Amino acid sequence: MQPQIETLHSYQHQILIANPSLDNSWFEKTVIYIAEDSDQQTTGLVLNKPHQFKVSDLLDYFSFSPAGSAETRPELGEHVRLGGPVDKEHGFILHRHRNNWPNSINLDDGLVLSTSEAFLKAIAADEAERPYLVFLGVASWHPGQLTEEIQRNSWLTCPYDPAIVFDVPIDQHWQHALASLGIDPVFLSSEAGHA
């Protein structure tokens, strides 16, 4: 039986950055926003794994006719993101504006995590305030699991940065998140070091 590792702080509202030890796994070079860290579980959204669906495809799936086209509304051509390998058939929207959307959870710094079809309708009608990110699935850890993975050198953590979450192009998240910590990816190792 392995000893229980005690969590000293919460990872909620932090950003996880995959270390090279996760190369060749589903989480290779991922950047994850941690939306919830409780004694029940830790839940996050992978920011930089594009799904084959675009936002317009998801709207079509729900029979929401979008106002305008991808030419006039570039956000319709953005990729939905694979939020994680759990609940991949469920949609989640991370956004900044608290308008009392149904099926929504208020997070830190004015962020909101929503599973509301009403928000998708607002996207279709071009009435949803930007920025927002649309995900299918989440990343999830059992209690203590994420702490163990961090101690094994699988993840780096950095404070929430709205630019990393909303402004960085999807293919540049990993490099940008590392740069926010002053780290050049060339110098990363998959080996854990302990004093």
Would you kindly state where each structural domain of the chain is located, as residue ranges? 14-187
CA distance 26 to 85: 8
Question: Is the domain defined by 14-187 classed in CATH 3.40.1740.10?
Answer: yes
Q: What is the pLDDT along the chain (195 residues), one digit of tens a residue?
A: 454 544 457 899 999 999 998 999 999 999 999 999 999 999 999 999 999 999 999 999 999 999 988 789 999 999 999 999 999 999 999 998 777 788 889 999 999 999 988 999 999 999 998 999 999 999 999 999 999 999 999 999 999 999 999 999 999 999 999 999 999 988 876 565 544
pTM: 0.90
Listing DSSP states for 34-53 in one string gives EEEE-SS-EEEEESS-EEEE
CA distance 170 to 78: 10
